[in-house]
Chains A and B, each alone.
Chain A
Amino acid sequence: MIDVASELISAFGYEFFRNALLAGILASTACGIIGSFVVIKRMVSLTGGISHAAFGGVGLGYFLGFSPILGATLFCVATAALIAKLRHIAHQHLDTLVGAIWAAGMAIGILLVYLTPGFAPDLYGYLFGNILLVPSGEIFFMGALLAAIIAVTAIFYNQLLAVTFDEEYASVMNIASEKIIALLLIMTAVTIVMLIQVVGIILTIALLTLPAAIAREFTGRLDRMFYLSTILGITFTTCGIFLSYTLDVPSGATIILIGAAAYIIALCAKTFCRR
């Protein structure tokens, strides 16, 4: 026991470990804000489509020889913009279209990675995340993205609230509802890019939705949901990083399993309290 504790304390001496904790905190804060919108606006499948389309961008990065995370950013933002446009044309077919985008993004990625000569380094990391490998430069990039998300949310808070509660009424109030939704989707895309570093493409949905879903059970205000799900997210990622470090198991999966367990406990506690 003392061995484990001293091992963890000594872990703080390593830059990669401090970076991992920082990356976890930054990504969890973005998740706390955007995840709350994803949960209350029921955009989970849209978010899944955007995050999986990112793999196409990762493949493009490998194929053309630029940073895969830059490719993922391009694909995520483009997909978010496309979905924002399609929402009004497609109506009830949107779900199917998102499914198509989801699969097509993955397929493009697989093909491009296959066509890339030689070995694709870190491919596994993009799919399943490896928070212990986040470089210092990436931390600054994530910090800048998070600052942008917080600023945009603060400025447009009243409009975001009105549009996510009742889109048509917001339009009657002369709010550009379509643009606000597009803005929200693009912020979601940016958050997904941050999350790919932490938990990987496959598991991004979980970290976006689990903390917010738990927070929703315990509060009736959107802003409190932001704070509560941020705290929960930071707890999950930090615990996950420590656990995966000491047990030497994949970090992304550990973080998600802690979150899923907490969600189940929260639901049980809520049901128990109601009785």
Chain B
Amino acid sequence: MPQEKTGTEYDDAAARDSRQSRENMTSAPAIEIKYLSVYREGQTVLDKVSLRIEEGQSYAIIGPNGGGKTTLLKSILGLIKPDSGCVKIYGESPAVNRYLLGYVPQFHTFDFSYPISVRDMVLTGRLGHIKGIRRRYSDEDRRCAEEAMKTLGILHLADRTLSDLSGGEQQRAIIARAIVGNPKVLLLDEPTVYVDSPTEEKFHDILVELHKKMTVIMVTHDIGVISSGVDVIACLNVKMFTHYSAEITSDMILNTYKCPVDLIAHGLAHRVLHDHSALESSPEPVDTEISDRAADGTDKIRCGCTGHGGRQ
């Protein structure tokens, strides 16, 4: 990736940059996005999205499929060039500071049949820290890999082939790869899509544990996965709706999903939704599905509207 430092007075610029960078590290928010717009094949994917995530926050972004959640994450990672607006990681461009990020991509994007051991796969998460043309792993890298696998409880699987693991174990391996570089910010894209109920509980514990060490940003269309540990919930459907609170309001949902949605809250441990009574005054739900909580016992939001990317 090309770095953005050009110019003749390189020494001056570098000195100023490093000074600035030191200042920014202390004052700048972990992630700052200003008026970010992304267009794809004539369609607006993100429309002037602004966002400020402070260090140590746990941030959840919800929205329908096709609402631009993955695009937003990839913009933060510098994988997608914004058409306008800018993204800053600790005050610097993604190309400069993305080594501070850990990334858990969507599960279905992986080819889990790839012939690789869990250990080697986790080690690839260290490559961002390694210089030199050969990018050889040091003992330190190997120690970090073991530590990351230990944190996720998969150290005993280190020398197994990735394809031999169960879905939940594979997911933990992918999270281990994301944290092996000791990131300051962890980005998770739809982290619970393939996780079944028993592992979901564990998954919450893992997230809570990781949040003690780093800023966590999670995007999902499944409100049920957002635990009470989340500081801020934002809604994204091309535009961003942030309320800087950890509660989802029916207004937010209405704005995001573009149709009234029946919110059903269950259980207390992971409550993020209002009581039913609070929502009964909301407009008459149009063609909404009632989620069956018996299946997984978590809070669910379902939207029956087609054409808005609601859950099918």
Complex Cα spacing A155 to B136, Å: 9
Contact flag A173-B164 (CB < 8 Å), given A155-B134, A168-B105? no
* Chain A, Cβ-Cβ closest to B134: A155
Are the C-beta atoms of B161 and A170 separated by less than 8 Å? Answer: no
Across-interface contacts of A147 in B (CB, < 8 A)? none
The majority secondary structure among interface residues of chain A is: helix
Across-interface contacts of B137 in A (CB, < 8 A)? 158
CB distance from B108 to the nearest CB of A (A): 13
Are the C-beta atoms of A176 and B127 separated by less than 8 Å? Answer: no
Across-interface contacts of B136 in A (CB, < 8 A)? 158
Across-interface contacts of A222 in B (CB, < 8 A)? 115-116
Are the C-beta atoms of A220 and B105 separated by less than 8 Å? Answer: no
Tell me whether A161 is interfacial, beta carbon within 8 Å.
yes
Tell me whether B91 is interfacial, beta carbon within 8 Å.
no
Are the C-beta atoms of B116 and A173 separated by less than 8 Å? Answer: no
Contact flag A220-B117 (CB < 8 Å), given A171-B79, A172-B98? yes
Across-interface contacts of B74 in A (CB, < 8 A)? 168
Across-interface contacts of A173 in B (CB, < 8 A)? 124-125, 127-128
Contact flag A158-B115 (CB < 8 Å), given A172-B98, A174-B1? no
Q: How large is the interface on A (under 10, 10 to 19, 20 to 34, 35 or more residues)?
A: 20 to 34
Are the C-beta atoms of B110 and A220 separated by less than 8 Å? Answer: no
Contact flag A159-B79 (CB < 8 Å), given A165-B124, A169-B103? no
Across-interface contacts of A171 in B (CB, < 8 A)? 1, 78-79
Across-interface contacts of B121 in A (CB, < 8 A)? 165
Are the C-beta atoms of B99 and A174 separated by less than 8 Å? Answer: yes
Q: How large is the interface on B (under 10, 10 to 19, 20 to 34, 35 or more residues)?
A: 20 to 34
Of A155, A161, A172, A221, most B-chain CB atoms within 10 Å: A172
Tell me whether B77 is interfacial, beta carbon within 8 Å.
yes
Complex Cα spacing A221 to B117, Å: 7
Query: Beta-carbon contacts of B107-133 to A below 8 Å, as 1s and 0s?
Result: 001110011110011001101100001
Complex Cα spacing A168 to B80, Å: 10
The 5 closest A-B pairs by CB, nearest first: A220-B161, A173-B128, A173-B127, A162-B124, A158-B135
Contacts A169-B125, A171-B79, A173-B127 known; list 17 others, CB within 8 Å: A158-B124, A158-B127, A158-B135, A159-B135, A161-B120, A161-B124, A165-B116, A168-B74, A168-B79, A169-B124, A169-B177, A170-B124, A172-B79, A172-B98, A173-B125, A221-B117, A222-B116
21 contacts between A and B (CB under 8 A): A156-B133, A158-B127, A158-B137, A159-B127, A162-B124, A164-B114, A165-B124, A169-B125, A172-B98, A172-B103, A174-B128, A175-B127, A175-B135, A176-B1, A219-B115, A220-B116, A220-B162, A220-B164, A221-B120, A221-B161, A224-B115
